[in-house]
Amino acid sequence: MTEKARKQTESPAQDADPLIDVRGLGMSFPVRNSASLPWETPPVVRAVNNVSMAIRANEIFGLAGESGCGKSTVARLVMGLIDPTEGEIRFRSRPIQDYSASEIRPRVQMVFQDPYTSLNPRRTIGRIVGDPLIIHTGMNASQRRERVMQVLNRVGLADYHYDRYPHEFSGGQRQRIAIARALILDPEFLVLDEPTSALDVSVQAVILNMILELQAEMQLGCLFITHDLNLMRFLAHRTGVMYLGQMVEVGPTQDLFDDPLHPYTRALIDATPQPDPDRVNAQVPLEGEIPSNINRPTGCAFASRCPVRIDGTCERVEPELKPVGSRLVACHLHHPAEAST
């Protein structure tokens, strides 16, 4: 494949660079509701606020956080589906907006959460999986058919599935189809937005195993988004935790789970139920709920719920994401020097 050749022509120096480099990413959406008047400036939701991260080739980067924390917005930004209001995203050291759609689509692909709505119900599997080949390659019909079959077999589907429609498949099989569609052009980077949250445990296991295999085999860089920390711990090489649009902690998954530095990371880990009846969970669950993204609290976004808040500092000064050992943490507890300023 030409894609394989392309990967080899990339110089080693470039390979050391991150595949995706996100710097100071911010995304604000205006919210107009029926109560707002045309001449008023609508309030703004800061869905993503100053997020930086780097994802290397052949790495699964996990993004965790609760609903509304901005993780799916980050996925859409990284895909180039929406343009950021602040900051930039570089793919192979070049801003992602500089790529044309025909340049970027074969290289960056996505698997969506809900396999029941992400496949066109009126098209056959052959069409769904094979369409990218029509758009991005000069293959003729028989070459395309052969390639589609090859990818379908790779994700565990049979040749006779080619002419079937999505409604004939179970949830797990549909997610296989979605993965086949994402992989048909042999991409370098894959965004997976909660790919197994609609599936049962036993089916999830099959899909996760397959994602891991394919990732290693194709040396894919992956952005894996999930709210399930057990899942994150199982498959991500590095993990980022988001809260209210901000990255609060990033680091190697094992370090982050063994010794969470940010109080929010710790609380999330404690709150995640484990299939272990003897686990003593003496931790008091976090109080309160995630504050509104429209009227963001000043200072640390987590301060209102933080059990170890430093009064006088955390509500006033916004902590920056700074290195602590192998990790980056945005918390005054770990940067006391800055807190006093």
The contact set with other proteins (CB under 8 A) reads: 66-67, 170, 200-202, 204-206, 208-209, 212, 227-231, 233-235, 257, 267-268, 270-279, 281, 285-287, 289-290
CB of 313 to other proteins, least distance (A): 23
Q: Which is nearer to other proteins, 275 or 312 (CB)?
A: 275
Q: Which phi and psi (to 5°) does residue 238 adopt?
A: -130, 150
Q: Which is nearer to other proteins, 112 or 264 (CB)?
A: 264
Q: Which is nearer to other proteins, 202 or 340 (CB)?
A: 202
- Other CB atoms within 10 A of residue 283 CB: 12
CB of 152 to other proteins, least distance (A): 18
Q: Which is nearer to other proteins, 20 or 199 (CB)?
A: 199
Q: Which is nearer to other proteins, 230 or 326 (CB)?
A: 230
CB of 212 to other proteins, least distance (A): 8
Q: Is 321 helix (H, G, I), strand (E, B) or coil?
A: coil
CB of 98 to other proteins, least distance (A): 37
Q: Which is nearer to other proteins, 163 or 287 (CB)?
A: 287
Write the DSSP symbol of residue 46. E
What one-character-per-residue DSSP string does 107-120 give?
TEEEE-S-TTTSS-
Both tokens of 22, joined, read 């996100």
CB contact at 8 A, 339 and 310: yes
CB contact at 8 A, 246 and 301: yes
Candidates 312, 331, 313, 309; CA nearest to 322 is: 331
CB contact at 8 A, 21 and 78: no
CB of 297 to other proteins, least distance (A): 17
CB of 163 to other proteins, least distance (A): 21
Helices of type H across 63-195: 71-78, 101-104, 125-136, 141-154, 171-183
CB of 13 to other proteins, least distance (A): 32
CB contact at 8 A, 256 and 35: no
Counting beta carbons within 10 angstroms of the beta carbon of residue 114, is it exposed (0 to 12), middle (13 to 18) or buried (19 or more)? middle
Q: Which is nearer to other proteins, 206 or 310 (CB)?
A: 206
Q: Which is nearer to other proteins, 67 or 100 (CB)?
A: 67
For tokens 């498959």, what's the residue? 235
CB contact at 8 A, 325 and 260: no
CB of 171 to other proteins, least distance (A): 8
CB of 72 to other proteins, least distance (A): 14
Between the alpha carbon of residue 190 and those of residues 85, 139, 181, 244, 257, the distances in Å are: 23, 23, 11, 24, 24
Counting beta carbons within 10 angstroms of the beta carbon of residue 55, is it exposed (0 to 12), middle (13 to 18) or buried (19 or more)? buried
Q: Which is nearer to other proteins, 17 or 270 (CB)?
A: 270
- Other CB atoms within 10 A of residue 107 CB: 18
